[in-house]
């Protein structure tokens, strides 16, 4: 159970995000199912209700505050885990056409059941980003790709930029220590360009979002296979 409605709404509101009661109810279902499922399958280390509210739901929702996501656009969440950041985004913005990707099937199983409970329409993909983005049906097909806490910016760019159409964006949610300059080489090779780096604080913790614009097609040889990616960043 989340903190009660007034407290939760106040927390969202302090970050500039409105939380109507019907959406609070959905976040509550999400929190309950996350904690229940987490007892048998490892999904998150965060189980305290206030922390789920602030560190998962509001943290994810901040993407909408700092990045303008176009109406009815398609978005793939790479390494989504228990659905962060994109399931909170979809609760707040049902028009987003959502694809959830993770390499662990037990997390995809959780997400299918969760989206069923929340009556959320989404596509689910079990696989590694570096394999899935080679497939024609997913390559350069999305308006946005996003990721939170999956890998460093260079690796993440190789996993996420190939999914994005030219003209779309890859959005990376990071802690304060990640420096986008570490990914500049990879971003350029993969057809991206850094459009924005946004620093903000979330309940006294520092956060950073990078927005990488896709300006040209990703060369067909990228992404490399996982062994090559692991061995050496671009």
Residues lying near ligand SAM in the complex (CB under 6 A) are found at 78-82, 84, 101-104, 107, 128-130, 148-150, 159
Q: How far is the CB of 110 from ligand SAM (least distance, A)?
A: 10
Check if the beta carbon of residue 186 is closer than 8 Å to that of residue 146: no
Q: What are phi and psi of 80, to 5 degrees?
A: -70, -20
Q: How far is the CB of 113 from ligand SAM (least distance, A)?
A: 16
| Nearer Cβ to ligand SAM (2/87) | 87
Q: How far is the CB of 128 from ligand SAM (least distance, A)?
A: 4
- Taking the C-alpha atoms of residue 197 and residue 16, their distance in angstroms, rounded to an integer, is 19
Order across the sheet with 205-214: list the strands.
122-126, 97-102, 74-78, 142-148, 164-174, 205-214, 192-202
- Taking the C-alpha atoms of residue 43 and residue 220, their distance in angstroms, rounded to an integer, is 34
| Nearer Cβ to ligand SAM (93/148) | 148
Q: How far is the CB of 7 from ligand SAM (least distance, A)?
A: 23
Q: How far is the CB of 191 from ligand SAM (least distance, A)?
A: 19
| Nearer Cβ to ligand SAM (5/178) | 178
CA 44 and chain centroid, separation? 15
| Nearer Cβ to ligand SAM (42/72) | 42
Check if the beta carbon of residue 89 is closer than 8 Å to that of residue 60: yes
| Nearer Cβ to ligand SAM (50/104) | 104
Strands (E), the chain: 74-78, 97-102, 122-126, 142-148, 164-174, 192-202, 205-214
């Amino acid at each position: 159970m989340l903190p009660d409605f007034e407290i939760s709404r106040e927390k969202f509101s302090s970050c500039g995000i409105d939380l109507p009661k019907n959406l609070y109810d959905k976040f509550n279902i999400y929190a309950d199912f996350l904690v229940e499922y987490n007892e048998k399958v490892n999904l998150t280390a965060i189980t305290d209700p206030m922390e789920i509210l602030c560190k998962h739901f509001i943290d994810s929702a901040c993407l909408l505050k700092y990045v303008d996501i176009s109406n009815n656009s398609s978005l793939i969440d790479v390494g989504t885990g228990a659905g962060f950041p994109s399931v909170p985004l979809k609760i707040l913005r049902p028009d987003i056409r959502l694809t959830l990707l993770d390499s662990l099937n037990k997390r995809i199983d959780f997400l299918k059941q969760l989206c069923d409970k929340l009556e959320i329409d989404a596509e689910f993909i079990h696989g590694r980003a570096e394999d899935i983005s080679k497939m024609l049906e997913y390559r350069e097909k999305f308006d946005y790709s996003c990721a939170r806490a999956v890998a460093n910016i260079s690796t993440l760019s190789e996993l996420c930029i190939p999914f994005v159409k030219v003209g779309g964006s890859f959005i990376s949610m990071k802690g304060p220590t990640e420096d986008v300059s570490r990914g500049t080489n990879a971003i350029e090779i993969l057809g991206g360009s850094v459009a924005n780096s946004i620093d903000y604080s979330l309940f006294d913790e520092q956060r950073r979002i990078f927005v990488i614009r896709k300006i040209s097609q990703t060369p067909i040889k990228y992404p490399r296979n996982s062994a090559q990616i692991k061995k050496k960043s671009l």
